Amino acid sequence: MIAVTGATGNVGSALVAQLAAEGRPVRALSRRPDRTRLPEGGSAGAVDAVRADFADPPEGRGLEALFEGATGLFLHVGAVGGSTRSVVEAATRAGVRRIVVLSSGAISGHGDGGTADEANPIAAFHLAAERAVRAAAPEWTLLRPNAFAANAFSYAPQIRAGGDVVRGPYARAAMAPVHERDMAAVAAHALLNDGPEHAGRDGGPNGQGGPGSHHGAVHRLTGPASVTTAEQVRLIGDALGRPLRFEEVPEENAAEELYADMPRPFLRVMLDAFAASVGTPPEITTTVEDVTGVPARTFAEWAADHTADFR
């Protein structure tokens, strides 16, 4: 059994669907498991949707009860938040051996962070979670995605309102957004296999797993190509059959409305990253294809997959 935190989120629900399609038993952990319809499961097992508030664990064995019978764990750092250490320790006590962490590409390189990372609130938050996993889990893999394609959902209210102009900051900010299904596919491979079956990859920075092993590996994830903010909006319009265009406005006029749910320190870091990415080619990796054998999905494919979310 694989336990999945953040199971009703973009990446978590995609992972639950992929594991279920392979007939793997899944325990889908979420504060609100009723929010999203989860798959029924495949021939080898079903999806068990369980309410999990990690800051308010169930009575009795507490957090350990959530992981009984599971051997693998997908740890969505954003979903677990400040409870990462207690969750990881409870999971390993319950018998979980392999943990795959959805961390952040805000952490530089493949290492364990440096001065710049410690000064970056997003990087520091995820580094603390990574270190807790490294210290407690018998086997671990770190996923460090850069820009999520799903960040474009922030434009959905404007698009659903019916106008053809989307307003926001940094029209020429360049990124390589990664599809949540690609992040989930890499996570599934790391949870279910000892190492990539396709193009070989080195182990992690400490070499714990040896060549080709997922254990100790740090997988940096991106989409396959650079796409600016303005191009993302145009591609969403193409998928919808509408002539959408992006109009740049100063960040102070739009940022808080677009990213209302983001903690203010994180928002400042993200906006600074957008500003720095104007005219700068983004990092592009081949990790998705290296691990899964399938090329990473383009942003146009992501937009086509999500037309219903913008209508």
Q: Which two tokens stand for residue 21?
A: 């399609």
For residue 122, which of 104, 134, 108, 109 has the smallest C-alpha distance?
Answer: 104
Question: CB–CB of 152/237 below 8 Å?
Answer: no
Instruction: Give Cβ neighbours of residue 288 (< 8 Å, ≥ 6 apart).
Output: 178, 182, 185, 186, 221, 224, 294, 295, 296
Long-range contacts made by residues 262-268, C-beta under 8 angstroms, separation at least 24? 263/121, 265/121, 266/121, 266/122
Q: Residue 12: what pLDDT?
A: 95
Interatomic CA distance for residues 68 and 48, integer angstroms = 12
The predicted-structure confidence for 219-243, as pLDDT tens digits, reads as follows 999 999 999 999 999 999 999 999 9
Count of residues for the chain? 311
Q: Residue 39: what pLDDT?
A: 67
Q: Which residue has the higher pLDDT, 251 or 3?
A: 3
41 phi/psi in degrees, rounded to 5: 110, 165
Q: Which two tokens stand for residue 307?
A: 């037309």
Range from 15-24, 210-219, 300-309 that averages highest in pLDDT: 300-309
| Mean pLDDT of the region 134-145 | 95
The predicted-structure confidence for 173-184, as pLDDT tens digits, reads as follows 999 999 999 999
Statement: residue 166 has pLDDT above 60: yes
Look up residue 199 and give its DSSP letter: S
The predicted-structure confidence for 261-296, as pLDDT tens digits, reads as follows 777 788 888 888 999 999 999 999 999 999 999 999
Burial class (CB in 10 A: 0-12, 13-18, 19+), 243: exposed
Statement: residue 245 has pLDDT above 60: yes
Task: Indicate the pTM of the whole model.
Answer: 0.90
Statement: residue 203 has pLDDT above 60: no
Q: Residue 175: what pLDDT?
A: 97
Q: Percentage of the chain surpassing pLDDT 70? A: 89
